[in-house]
Structure 1
Amino acid sequence: MPNFLFVYHGGSMPESQEEIDKTMAAWGKWMEDNGSNLVEPGNPVGMSKTVSASGVADNGGANPASGYSVISADDIDAACAIAKSNPMIVDGSGSVEIAEIVAM
Structure 2
Amino acid sequence: MSKFIYLYKGPATPMDQFTKEQSEAQMAAWGAWMEKTGPALLEAGAPFAPSRTALVDDGTVAEASDLNGYSIVEAESLAGARALADGHPFLSDGNGKFTLEIFELGEM
Q: TM-score range by the shorter chain?
A: 0.7 to 0.9
Q: Which amino acid aligns with 2:7?
A: V
1:25-69 deviation line (CA, Å, top 9, x unaligned): 000110111022011000000232111123112x313xx211000
Give the unaligned 5+ runs of structure 1: none
Q: Matched residues in 1 for 2:40 and 2:7: separation?
A: 16
> Structure 1 residue 90 and structure 2 residue 95: aligned?
no
Which has the higher mean CA deviation after the structures are superposed, 43-52 or 87-96?
87-96
Q: Which residue of 2 aligns with 1:17?
A: 20
Question: Residue 91 of structure 1: CA displacement?
Answer: 2.8
Q: Which residue of 2 aligns with 1:39?
A: 42
Q: Matched residues in 1 for 2:79 and 2:87: separation?
A: 13
3-state SS in 2 of match to 1:85 = coil
TM-score normalised to the size of structure 1? 0.88
Counting aligned pairs with the same residue, the percent is: 34
Which of the residues 46, 54, 61 maps onto 1:56? 61
* RMSD (CA atoms): 1.4
Q: Which amino acid aligns with 1:44?
A: P
Contact persistence 1:84–1:90 (CA under 8 A)? no
Q: Which residue of 2 aligns with 1:99?
A: 103
Question: Residue 90 of structure 1: CA displacement?
Answer: 2.2
TM-score normalised to the size of structure 2? 0.85
Contact persistence 1:9–1:95 (CA under 8 A)? yes
Question: Residue 85 of structure 1: CA displacement?
Answer: 1.8
Question: Residue 84 of structure 1: CA displacement?
Answer: 2.8
3-state SS in 2 of match to 1:23 = helix
Q: Count matched residues.
A: 101
Where in structure 1 do 4 or more consecutive aligned residues deviate above 4 Å?
none
Q: Which amino acid aligns with 1:90?
A: S
